[in-house]
Amino acid sequence: MNTAAIAKVISGTAIVCALMCSCMKGSGLPGIVPLPGSVVAEKGEFVLSGESDIYIASGAEGMEYAADELKSVLSGICGVAALESDNPGASVVLGLSDELGVSSYLLDISPDRIKITGGDPAGVFYAVQTLKQLVPAQAYNGKAGRVSIPAVVINDSPKMMYRGVMLDAARHFFTKDEVKTFLDIMALHKMNVFHWHLTDDQGWRIEIDSYPELVGTGSVRKRTIVGKDPGGEYDETTVYDETPHSGYYTKDDIREIVEYARRRFITVIPEVEFPGHAVAALASYPWLGCTGEQYEVRQTWDIDDRVFCIGKESTFRFFEDVLAEVTDLFPSEYIHIGGDECPSKMWEKCPHCNRRMEQEHLDSYRQLQAYGTFRLEKFLESRGRRIIGWDEILEAGISPSAVVMSWRGTEGGIKAAKSGNYVVMSPTGYSYFDYYQTRNTENEPIAWGGYLPLEKVYSFDPYEGLDADDKKFVLGVQANLWTEYIPDFRQAEYMLLPRLAAMSEVAWSSASGNYPDFRVRLADFLELYRSFGYTFSETALRE
């Protein structure tokens, strides 16, 4: 995904909703999430059967991904098989049109056939995701032989070109297959950027050939604190599970996941933390720290003072080596370098860091961090990449090409946008899905804290506080799933769903904003969750 494509908001192609969900219900149509731009119910229905066939009218690169997605869905229902031969009279026809915008589609279902037209292959893929919702949910529970789909014309396009979801695999590791399921869930919601948090104090999860101890030592946490972290108040009463937690992704794993995402029109942006959240790396290579002391991979969750030493040239040689291997694995335009929650305590006592400040005429330790960030940015630019970082990177100034991910509210994003930097809005109050979904937490799994109900996610306005000129710098939005208190994938799904449905509508739908209508449409979407075996919170629906 390039910046020009992301920043080009498709004006004129997002049609104001012709029928809201009440009209969908009145016509017998299931509710669709995220809400399409235009939905017009027609008379009759199309009957899909094992005799139906699929024709790809365009050979554009990526069309086969949409066809494969459609085939995998429908073959499990009634045995539909894709055709490679010239058969424009097929039951299901996939094609492209220059008259449609980026990621846009027209889904035209008549009693005679299904015709899907996209502005590009991604648009065709998103049409398939909508078609999934028009198939009766119970049909996914076994081959039905024949399935009736209501006749309808849907014209749709995304509001935002960056629709992100972050998964933290550093605090708790998730298998390759679980990550693939996460990507499937994203695709169903028409989300298109997977932010993969791969390194932190509690674990290093990405194989780096030039530094094997990053996974040899850094991927293994010998134990984990039990219950809520007291935030630095550790003593003999602190309880640990005394169970090692480990795991990392080989380079082959990563290539497989990146390709799996690409076939779902999802860009994978890796995050390698700098200069804080560094303890797993320092445990692997102590010379990366200010003191050279030997540490253990962190077993608790609060912020750690032990960070990368910016005064040593060896730190930058390390990061250039690491980022060289990272950029070989991930083709994304952006590489996330973290930049958040970095204490300066170690730098203040470090002769190397203080010498660096004198040499570079730096007045503060935040400027020291900015110096390090600029060096990483320059290296990544030499490899054709750009940095994205949490909003702390603003504090000492950033280059015009850096992208800011605004998490401490939207203020950082507003400041960045007004200064001409591109922004992803991801504030805690709307986007942190590790927060509780209900006020009745007694029967809920332990969570980080806070309260983020479904309705508040849905109410998120990422443009609030920005004028028309500044809005063009908002690339999109992102939901974040931090996993300190999410030890397994079933719980990850529970915390993600159904709040991701609300965020998907914020990101995709120009015609959204009616929460009661969303709740009605969501009832049909939840049936799809059940059919696909996804775990979701029903408690959240009662708030």
Q: Tell how far CA 294 is from the center of its chain.
A: 34
User: What is the DSSP annotation of 300-322?
Assistant: S-S--S----SS-HHHHHHHHHH
Report residue 179: phi and psi, to 5°. Answer: -65, -40
Residue 83 bridge partners (DSSP): 55
Catalytically annotated residue among 69, 108, 156, 200:
200
- Token pair 């920043």: residue: 7
Distance CA 251, CA 328 (A): 10
Distance CA 62, CA 102 (A): 14
Strand 245-246 to strand 162-168: parallel, antiparallel, or no bridges (unpaired)? Answer: unpaired
Distance CA 229, CA 234 (A): 9
DSSP 8-class letter at 208? -
Residue 109 bridge partners (DSSP): 114, 152
Catalytically annotated residue among 156, 277, 392, 484:
277
Decide if 178 is catalytic: no
**C-alpha angle 113/115/118, rounded to 5°?**
170
| Longest CA span, the chain | 77
**Single-letter amino acid code for the residue at 517:** D
- Token pair 């509210």: residue: 409
Burial of 400: CB neighbours in 10 Å, binned 0-12, 13-18, 19+: exposed
Decide if 341 is catalytic: yes
Token digits of residue 393: 């990177």
Q: What residues contact residue 204 under an 8 Å CB cut-off, 6+ apart?
A: 170, 198, 214, 215, 218, 219, 248, 280, 281, 284
Distance CA 132, CA 189 (A): 11
Decide if 245 is catalytic: no
Q: Tell how far CA 530 is from the center of its chain.
A: 22
**C-alpha angle 519/493/504, rounded to 5°?**
45
Catalytically annotated residue among 68, 256, 341, 444:
341
Catalytic residues: 200, 277, 341
